[in-house]
């Protein structure tokens, strides 16, 4: 274990070294920026290396990749490219300014210089650049005193309209606050509350909200972030709801989605099943609580998504025996099949699954003890 960690660290060093050496030896005007500079200042490892190039970022990225030999994907519309190499990602962007056509919508993008590029960013701690160009290697651009905010552990927006332009920054602020144990600077906190009050979150599209919620649950401190989301009125959860939140990040993610308005999120069919299950988790748990027999346990849990069943004993340990029983019941082989129903002349065929289910429940409760019993029961049934 320790060995692989060591080698990962070594590889990462060599990737950032190669990036820096490439630009320092080239004609490009390039800067390390954003998360990479912030994390290095904080002494934290970062697997993303963010570079901004004044000029054509994509062509610089292609030349860089001739050295790195990673997997490159470019996005000409945004003037950006990403290179994946050895588990690390190098993001290369063309310096740009952004103009928001209207609040909460994606911005229009124009080429610019590094200082203009820093102006468009979210927080002072992310608006620091360090030159890796030949001519001014090592020069720091910190127009908003981000280094001082890092030192004083503050998350601060660059301007009053920041959360209105891009309400995803509300989630981002809370992620940074909890990840680094920083404080929201007073005016930033006030502006954030104002944006929440103005209903800016609901102006975001479903995919953007889903992405932000997923990013929250990718953080180690997701539980604290959820607390903040509630505290600032971004999420309306009742105290009872919080008691129901499962204590693993994946399950908690689905649980939280179940508290957001229906139809707003672009969920896949499988995700929808889990989320709908969480919407009904309390009812299902009550039902399970009241279920004494195996057939009742099976009936309560068979329509429910696996993730929801998994969450129940975490939420209420008293239910763990019953969920274990259910897992065993799922391996029980039914005494009879559709073929038997056909043989006994049951009609119509669309009733088969209902009949098979009810016979299976009798089997689970040992009211039918063998295939022979089950066939006798069927024979009887076919006469009525």
Q: How far, rounded to the nearest angstrom, does the alpha carbon of residue 294 sit from its chain's CA centroid?
A: 36
Instruction: By CB under 6 A, tell whether 121 contacts ligand CTP.
Output: yes
Cβ proximity to ligand CTP, 29 vs 169, nearer residue = 169
Collect contacts of 367-370 with beta carbons under 8 A, ≥24 apart. 368/335, 370/335
263-302 footprint of ligand CTP as x/- string (CB under 6 A): ----------------------------------------
Secondary structure class of 109 (helix, strand, coil) = strand
**By CB under 6 A, what part of segment 330-369 binds ligand CTP?**
none
Mask for 9-38, x = binds ligand CTP (CB under 6 A): -------------------------xx---
**Is residue 368 packed enough to be buried (19+ CB in 10 Å), middle (13-18) or exposed (0-12)?**
buried
The residue number with the shortest CB distance to ligand CTP is 35
Q: How many residues bind ligand CTP (CB under 6 A)?
A: 11
Q: Are 90 and 19 in contact (CB under 8 A)?
A: yes
Residue closer to ligand CTP by CB (options 48, 194) is 48
Instruction: Give the per-residue contact string, 170-209, with ligand CTP (x = CB under 6 A; - = no).
Output: --x-------------------------------------
Placement of tokens 């920054």 in the chain? 169
Binder among 122, 149, 185, 340 for ligand CTP (CB under 6 A): 122
Of 55-63, 167-175, 276-284, 296-304, the window that binds ligand CTP (rule: CB under 6 A) is 167-175
Beta-bridge partner residues of 30: 53
- Does the CA dihedral 280-209-125-83 come out positive or negative? positive
Per CB under 6 A, 65 contacts ligand CTP = no
Maximum Cα–Cα distance for the chain, whole Å? 95
117 binds ligand CTP (CB under 6 A): no
* Residue 168: CB minimum distance to ligand CTP, A: 5
Q: How far is the CB of 53 from ligand CTP (least distance, A)?
A: 15
Whose Cβ is closer to ligand CTP: residue 86's or residue 219's?
Answer: 219
48-54/129-131 β-pairing: unpaired
Say whether residue 166 binds ligand CTP (CB under 6 A): yes
What three-state secondary structure class fits 382? helix
CB 35, min distance to ligand CTP, A = 3
Q: State in angstroms the smallest separation of the CB of 157 from ligand CTP.
A: 10
The backbone torsions φ and ψ at residue 88, rounded to the nearest 5 degrees and listed phi first, read -110, 160
Least CB distance from residue 101 to ligand CTP, whole Å?
Answer: 16
- Beta-carbon-side half-sphere exposure of residue 225 (alpha carbons within 13 Å): 26
CB 89 within 8 A of CB 49: yes
Is residue 126 involved in binding ligand CTP (CB under 6 A)?
yes
* HEC letters along 262-298: CCCCCCCHHHHHHHHHHHCHHHHHHHHHHCCCHHHHH
Nearest approach, Cβ of residue 170 and ligand CTP (Å): 10
E strands, the chain, are 29-33, 48-54, 71-75, 80-85, 88-94, 96-99, 108-111, 129-131, 140-141, 154-155, 183-184
Among 12, 28, 156, 169, binds ligand CTP (CB under 6 A): 169
Residue 114's nearest CA partner among 82, 140, 76, 81 is 140
Question: Phi-psi category of 107—alpha, beta or left, where left has phi over 0 and alpha has psi -120 to 50?
Answer: beta
Min separation Cβ 166 and ligand CTP, Å: 5
| Contact with ligand CTP (CB under 6 A) among 48, 56, 349, 365 | 48
- Least spacing, CB of residue 294 vs ligand CTP, in Å: 48
* Site residues (vs ligand CTP, CB under 6 A): 34-35, 48, 50, 121-122, 126, 166, 168-169, 172
């Amino acid at each position: 274990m320790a060995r692989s960690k060591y080698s990962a660290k070594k590889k990462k060093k060599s990737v950032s070294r190669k990036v820096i050496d490439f630009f320092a030896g080239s004609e490009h005007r390039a800067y390390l920026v954003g998360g990479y500079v912030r994390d290095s200042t904080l002494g934290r490892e970062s697997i993303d290396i963010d570079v901004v190039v004044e000029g054509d970022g994509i062509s610089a990225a292609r030349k860089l990749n001739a050295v790195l030999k990673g997997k490159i994907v470019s996005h000409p519309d945004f003037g950006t490219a990403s290179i994946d190499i050895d588990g690390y990602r190098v993001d290369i962007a063309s310096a740009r300014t952004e103009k928001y056509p209207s609040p909460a919508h994606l911005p229009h993008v124009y080429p610019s210089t590094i200082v203009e590029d820093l102006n468009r960013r979210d927080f002072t701690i992310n608006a620091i650049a360090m030159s890796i160009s030949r001519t001014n290697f090592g020069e720091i651009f910190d127009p908003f005193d981000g280094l001082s905010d890092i030192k004083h552990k503050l998350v601060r927006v660059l301007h009053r309209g920041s959360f209105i332009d891009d309400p995803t920054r509300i989630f981002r602020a809370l992620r940074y606050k909890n990840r680094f144990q920083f404080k929201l600077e007073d005016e930033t906190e006030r502006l954030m509350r104002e944006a929440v009050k103005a209903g800016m979150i609901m102006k975001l599209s479903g995919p953007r909200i889903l992405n932000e919620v997923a990013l929250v649950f990718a953080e180690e401190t997701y539980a604290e972030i959820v607390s903040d989301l509630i505290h600032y009125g971004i999420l309306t959860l009742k105290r009872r709801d919080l008691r129901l939140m499962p204590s693993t990040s994946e399950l908690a993610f689905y649980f939280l989605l179940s508290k957001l308005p229906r139809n707003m999120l672009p969920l896949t069919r499988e995700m929808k099943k889990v989320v709908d299950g969480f919407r009904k988790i309390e009812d299902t748990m009550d039902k399970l609580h009241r279920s004494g027999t195996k057939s009742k346990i099976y009936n309560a849990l068979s329509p429910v998504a696996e993730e929801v069943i998994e969450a129940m004993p975490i939420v209420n340990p008293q239910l763990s025996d019953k969920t274990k029983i259910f897992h065993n019941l799922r391996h029980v082989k039914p005494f009879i099949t559709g073929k038997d129903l056909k043989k006994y002349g049951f009609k119509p065929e669309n009733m088969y699954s209902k009949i098979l289910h009810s016979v299976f429940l009798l089997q689970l409760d040992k009211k039918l003890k063998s295939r022979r019993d089950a066939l006798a029961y069927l024979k009887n049934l076919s006469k009525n």
